[in-house]
């Protein structure tokens, strides 16, 4: 528009055009993908961050933001039982953190020569992950200049976790072919089914082979706030880097990714840049987070994490996570009690992977019915589920991860399932 408009008109259009066209991620019936939690303290912090509108690129451009980031990352590491002595930084997304891990691995393996002279003449580096790993790893491998054809997607077991003996065989084959194995990405809570790779076994392998181990706990990482779920990250102290997303399951508005590294110096050496106009007198004494990742300009993301951690406390957060996991167990048990459903993956956290599989029909018919069932469920407008494929099977996914989720949502979803199954053909 050439001329400014009255804000009342703009806001009326927001309500009329935008809101009805949004997918409502904070709705209690949102069971799709993984949640992107919000919460009142986090929203308030986002408003303050927007109002302050500060650039947190170096310590001097926002001292309180830099100091707070350091402090909340310490709190988060403590809350989730991360190895002591690691350093944390807030990134925008897990995809970015994983890219940072791959770049740091690349630089360490080349004694920082790739940064200096480029990748020419350094050989072909290979990266390993499971066939269930999130696509951000493939994207990171592409962007890091390693070449997608050098990413090995290792076979998983019947729990959808990476098989270490297959990993070992792949590394050996690549070495024999003259390639340079570089890094492994293991996952705590895969996107399709929340599978957990055997970290300790993978870490031992990485140590023996001299490979960087990055652990992607983007979703599952929040769960280790519960001490009884710390076994999920057993062996993490042997890894090199770890990412998880408070912006998924820890009540903190997108975007807020927690990236932790064992060797802070390696990270900084990979990303450091020192133009004259950014030099200050205290660079040796403080954290300048511009050197801890890709971007220079940074939002004040630590504030929302601080508000959330202080408002809920460790106990409040644990109570919510535990409740979600229990709802998933209840839902899975109720499906099994109905007999015509199969649970297609272990219910490790708060995600249930299932399909409608009535005994009087066969596999091929289940494959046709389940996409239809998903479409019908979502068309009710009361719930939103998404799907995946596990071991070749079309799989419905129901996540119980909204702060507002209670047993009422389990009952509601079961009722809708019953209603929509009755409307399917071939009943
Ligand atoms: N890793 C896993 C296991 C995920 O499930 C996801 C997203 O759902 C990601 C990485 C990417 O997260 P982000 O959107 O923060 O890049």
pLDDT digits over 368-407, tens only? 999 999 999 999 999 999 999 999 999 999 999 999 989 9
Q: Using CA atoms, how far apart are residues 164 and 175, in angstroms rounded to an integer?
A: 17
Ligand 1 mutation pick, 191, 222, 386, max ligand atoms within 8 A of CB: 191
Coil, helix or strand at residue 229? helix
Is pLDDT above 80 for 426? no
Atom 14 of ligand 1: nearest residue by CA position: 93
Structure tokens at 202: 């993978």
At residue 354 the predicted structure's pLDDT band, cuts being 50, 70 and 90, is: very high
CA 187 – ligand 1 centroid, Å: 10
Question: Torsions phi, psi of 174, nearest 5?
Answer: -65, -40
Give the pairing of strands 212-216 and 241-244: parallel
For helices 94-109 and 264-271, the axis angle rounded to 10 degrees is 90
Q: Is the pTM of this model over 0.85?
A: yes
Q: What is the pLDDT of residue 339?
A: 85
Coil, helix or strand at residue 123? coil
Ligand 1 mutation pick, 156, 162, 219, max ligand atoms within 8 A of CB: 219
In contact, 417 and 383? CB cutoff 8 Å: no
Is pLDDT above 90 for 427? no
Average pLDDT estimate for 232-237:
98
Q: Using CA atoms, how far apart are residues 1 and 321, in angstroms rounded to an integer?
A: 46
Q: What percent of the chain has pLDDT over 70?
A: 100
Q: Which of 119, 96, 117 is nearest to 106 (CA)?
A: 119
Q: How many residues does the chain have?
A: 427
**Hey, how many other C-beta atoms are within 10 angstroms of the C-beta on 385?**
22
Structure tokens at 41: 């303290």
CA 257 – ligand 1 centroid, Å: 10
Q: What percent of the chain has pLDDT over 90?
A: 98
In order of 240, 347, 409, the CA distances from 412 in angstroms are: 43, 20, 5
Structure tokens at 235: 């062996």
In order of 108, 257, 292, 318, 427, the CA distances from 84 in angstroms are: 22, 19, 19, 21, 57
pLDDT, mean over the chain:
97
In contact, 239 and 96? CB cutoff 8 Å: no
């Amino acid at each position: 528009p050439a001329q400014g408009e009255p804000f009342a008109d703009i806001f009326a259009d927001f309500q009329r055009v935008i809101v009805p066209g949004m997918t409502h991620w904070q709705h209690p019936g949102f069971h799709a993908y993984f949640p992107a939690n919000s919460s009142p303290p986090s929203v308030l912090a986002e408003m303050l961050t927007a109002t302050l509108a500060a650039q947190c690129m170096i310590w001097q451009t926002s001292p309180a933001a830099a100091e707070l980031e350091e402090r909340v990352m310490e709190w988060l590491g403590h809350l989730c039982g991360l190895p002591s002595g690691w350093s944390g930084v807030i990134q925008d997304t897990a995809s970015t953190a994983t890219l940072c891990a791959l770049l740091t691995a690349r630089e360490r393996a080349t004694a920082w020569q790739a940064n200096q002279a480029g990748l020419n003449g350094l050989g072909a580096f290979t990266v390993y992950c499971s066939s269930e790993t999130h696509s951000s790893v493939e994207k990171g491998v592409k962007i890091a200049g390693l070449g997608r054809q050098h990413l090995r997607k290792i076979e998983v077991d019947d729990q959808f976790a990476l098989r270490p003996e297959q990993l070992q065989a792949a590394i050996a084959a690549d070495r024999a072919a003259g390639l340079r194995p570089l890094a492994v990405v293991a996952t705590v809570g895969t996107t399709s089914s929340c599978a957990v790779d055997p970290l300790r076994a993978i870490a031992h392998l990485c140590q023996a082979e001299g490979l960087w181990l990055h652990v992607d706990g983007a979703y599952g990482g929040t769960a280790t706030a519960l001490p009884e779920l710390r076994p999920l990250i057993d062996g993490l102290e042997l890894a090199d880097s770890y990412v998880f997303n408070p912006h998924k399951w820890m009540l903190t508005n997108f975007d807020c990714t927690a990236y932790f590294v064992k060797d802070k110096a390696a990270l900084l050496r990979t990303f450091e840049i020192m133009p004259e106009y950014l030099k200050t007198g205290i660079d040796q004494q403080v954290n300048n987070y511009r050197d801890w990742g890709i971007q220079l300009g940074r939002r004040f993301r630590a504030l929302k994490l601080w508000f959330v951690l202080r408002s809920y406390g460790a106990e409040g957060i644990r109570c919510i996570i535990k409740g979600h996991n229990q709802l998933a167990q209840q839902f899975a048990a109720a499906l099994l009690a109905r007999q015509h459903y199969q649970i297609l993956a272990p219910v490790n956290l708060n995600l249930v992977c299932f399909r409608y599989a009535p005994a009087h029909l066969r596999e091929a018919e289940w494959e046709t019915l389940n996409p239809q069932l998903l479409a019908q469920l979502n068309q009710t407008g009361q719930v939103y589920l998404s799907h995946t494929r596990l071991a070749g099977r079309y799989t419905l996914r129901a996540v119980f991860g909204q702060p507002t989720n209670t047993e009422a949502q389990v009952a509601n979803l079961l009722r809708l399932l019953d209603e929509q199954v009755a409307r399917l053909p071939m009943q």
